[in-house]
């Protein structure tokens, strides 16, 4: 077995924000009949279809040949970056929303775990600050990268938080790398996630919606999306994320190099009160667990630290909510155990499966 195939997990040097105060579960809902598409302008929410941002124009970049014989290029979309930098309004550039006492009413948090009133007052296309390591801005990734199916499971997710996830992914991803976005509804009963969602998504040809016939739980809902995926890579996301600049090429580049890599992004934090966007405490850390099987983030040991801290690093355990995996490799591993009912154990299962397969050569 080659050494590179014995690597357990590799983390990509990129940033992707998630609402971490309730990780890996989209159990937040609250119907609102208005949504804010382009702050501060108010547009119709469920039942109304806001104008979708146009296709990004990508500047041509000359590819460079690396020492390993792989041609690489700059995947940044500088025109989209320029447009985002020019945006202003509520929550733009990832800035906290100025809260009043009215904004903090209990009902705003009751069913969502975060302030849905504030979420509904921020653009679905909002800009976020580029808070990546400075070296990330200079990195080149393979010219030929696999495409991916983005799988987003949800149950009674808030309208604006779910739509902002989809817009963010589509707006900040190279179109040729997105095979599809699959929204998997785990038997939601909120009206805004039925006909209104279908009507909204018909304007987005790469997005399709799958629905379970009964409540299945997070893991089986993900499996439904994975079974339907057509992309070369499967990328699992939560339903309350915001992708940052150039988030996708680093993930796919590691898999193009080694198809048995399970690649996890750096995860930043969106504040559950004011939706301010910032880095997670401790920045780059490895995944681990204690004797009670609680997931922990621990510093990278000095002997394993790299001179360039923006480079991917190995981790014994992955975070379960956000990761990319070669689609065929995922099924070779056996996918998820269908007996898992709730979130929290899937990261250990996949981590242990990767370790076992690589150690035994299966």
Q: Convert the pLDDT of each residue in 68-84 to its tens digit.
A: 788 999 999 999 999 99
Token output for 152: 């987003």
Position 358 scores a pLDDT of 65
Position 64 scores a pLDDT of 86
> What are phi and psi for residue 227, nearest 5 degrees?
-65, -30
Strands 148-154, 178-185: pairing is parallel
Token output for 267: 């995860």
The region that residue 73 occupies, defined by phi over 0 for left and psi between -120 and 50 for alpha, beta otherwise, is beta
Position 57 scores a pLDDT of 46
Residue in the block written with tokens 């190279």 = 174
286-338 per-position pLDDT tens digit:
888 888 888 888 899 888 889 898 999 998 888 778 999 999 999 999 988 88
Strand, helix or coil at 268?
strand
Strands 41-44, 64-65: pairing is unpaired
Nearest in space to 276 (alpha carbons), one of 20, 83, 24, 45: 20
Token output for 231: 């992309």
Name the CA radius of gyration of the chain, rounded.
20
Residues 6+ apart with CB under 8 A from 302: none
Position 259 scores a pLDDT of 95
Q: pTM of the entire structure?
A: 0.82
Terminal Cα-to-Cα distance of the chain (whole angstroms): 10
Cα 43 to Cα 125: distance, rounded to the nearest angstrom: 13
Nearest in space to 343 (alpha carbons), one of 17, 18, 14: 18
- What are the CA-CA distances from residue 281 to residues 20, 273, 284 (Å)? 12, 18, 9
Position 360 scores a pLDDT of 58
Residues of the chain with pLDDT under 50: 1-15, 17-58, 60
**Helices within the chain (DSSP H only):** 78-85, 107-110, 116-119, 159-171, 195-201, 218-228, 248-257, 327-332, 346-360
Position 40 scores a pLDDT of 35
């Amino acid at each position: 077995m080659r050494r590179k195939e014995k690597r357990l997990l590799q983390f990509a040097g990129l940033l992707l924000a998630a609402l971490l105060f309730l990780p890996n579960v989209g159990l937040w809902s609250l119907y609102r009949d208005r949504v804010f598409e382009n702050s501060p302008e108010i547009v119709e929410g469920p039942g109304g279809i806001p104008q979708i941002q146009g296709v990004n124009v990508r500047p041509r970049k000359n590819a460079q040949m690396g020492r390993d014989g792989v041609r690489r290029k700059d995947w940044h979309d500088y025109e989209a970056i320029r447009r985002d930098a020019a945006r202003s309004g509520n929550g733009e550039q990832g800035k906290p929303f100025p809260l009043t006492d009215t904004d903090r009413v209990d009902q705003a948090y009751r069913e969502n775990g975060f302030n849905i009133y504030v979420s509904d007052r921020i653009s679905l296309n909002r800009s976020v600050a580029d808070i990546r390591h400075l070296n990330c801005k200079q990195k080149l990734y393979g010219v030929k990268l696999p495409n991916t199916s983005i799988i987003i499971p949800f149950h009674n997710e808030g309208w604006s938080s779910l739509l902002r996830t989809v817009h963010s992914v589509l707006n900040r991803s190279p179109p040729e790398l997105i095979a599809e976005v699959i929204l998997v509804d785990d038997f939601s009963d909120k009206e805004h996630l039925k006909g209104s969602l279908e009507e909204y998504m018909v304007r987005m040809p790469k997005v399709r919606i799958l629905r379970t016939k009964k409540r299945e739980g997070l893991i089986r809902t993900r499996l439904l999306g994975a079974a339907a995926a057509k992309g070369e890579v499967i990328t699992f996301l939560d339903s309350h994320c915001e992708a940052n600049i150039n988030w996708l090429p680093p993930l796919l580049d590691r898999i193009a190099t080694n198809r048995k890599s399970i690649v996890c992004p750096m995860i930043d934090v969106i504040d559950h009160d004011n939706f301010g966007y910032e880095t997670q405490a401790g920045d780059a850390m490895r995944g681990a667990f204690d004797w009670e099987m609680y997931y922990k983030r621990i510093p990278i040991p000095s002997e394993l630290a790299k001179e360039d801290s923006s480079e991917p690093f190995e981790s014994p355990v992955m975070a379960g909510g956000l990761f990319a995996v070669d689609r065929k490799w995922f099924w070779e591993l056996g996918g998820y155990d269908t007996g898992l009912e709730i979130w929290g154990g899937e990261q250990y299962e996949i981590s242990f499966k990767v370790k076992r397969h690589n150690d035994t050569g299966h």
